[in-house]
Copies of this chain bind each other. A is one copy, B any other.
């Protein structure tokens, strides 16, 4: 399999963690978003949404990080990343979409460019926008997990899954924007359990082949 991505991308990070958890080897294809690599005709022939990640599995191309995780989970069910009951799956999907769907779309370079160039926000203003939405996303996630008996060692019971991958990705980006994590003890406790695993460690931005040598991570 080939994973089209860029070291900095949180959306690609989620796909990497899922591949690593499944023990699936993959080849990196670098798509430098900051250089406009998603805007080429060649890339858009592969992914008309012009975003990363894209997973190529033989003739099949899957895009959008959560669709990639669901696809991998259906094709390579061991270890499972979604619960085996439909109520559990609904909860994991809702938590995952609450992170990936409600927070991350506010952060990519296409948004930051509009804020800077069209809405005349200076660098501090753009950073404040990202910081504030990530903090709000973390508060929503903490509220979703705290006090719900379905929450366990991980987001859903004691089994690692898709929602934990999403949780790790929002904590990673919160480091970039300097969010105070003290108000989110449930989220950070789960994160701490995740990051010890090689599947998460290998997926970090600073451990990718396209990360500049002086990039130490956020």
Interface residues of A (CB under 8 A from B): 44, 48-51, 60, 62-64, 66-68, 70-71, 74-75, 86-87, 89-91, 93-94, 97-98, 100-106, 111, 114-115, 119, 121, 125, 129, 132, 140, 143-144, 146, 148
Residues of B within 8 Å of A75, CB to CB, are: 86
Contact B98 A49 (CB under 8 A): yes
Given A143-B44, A143-B48, A90 and B106 contact (CB-CB distance below 8 Å): no
Tell me the nearest residue of chain B to A144, going by C-beta. B48
Contact B98 A101 (CB under 8 A): no
Residues of B within 8 Å of A119, CB to CB, are: 115, 119, 121, 125, 129
What is the CB-to-nearest-CB distance from A15 to chain B, in angstroms, rounded to a whole number?
12
Per the bound structure, the CA–CA distance linking A133 and B32 in Å amounts to 22
Residues of B within 8 Å of A89, CB to CB, are: 70-71, 74
Contact A87 B105 (CB under 8 A): no
Residues of B within 8 Å of A114, CB to CB, are: 129, 132
Given A86-B74, A89-B70, A121-B119, A64 and B106 contact (CB-CB distance below 8 Å): no
Contact A86 B98 (CB under 8 A): no
Partner of A66, one of B48, B93, B106, B143: B93
Contact A49 B143 (CB under 8 A): yes
Tell me the nearest residue of chain B to A115, going by C-beta. B119
Contact B50 A140 (CB under 8 A): yes
Tell me the nearest residue of chain B to A48, going by C-beta. B143
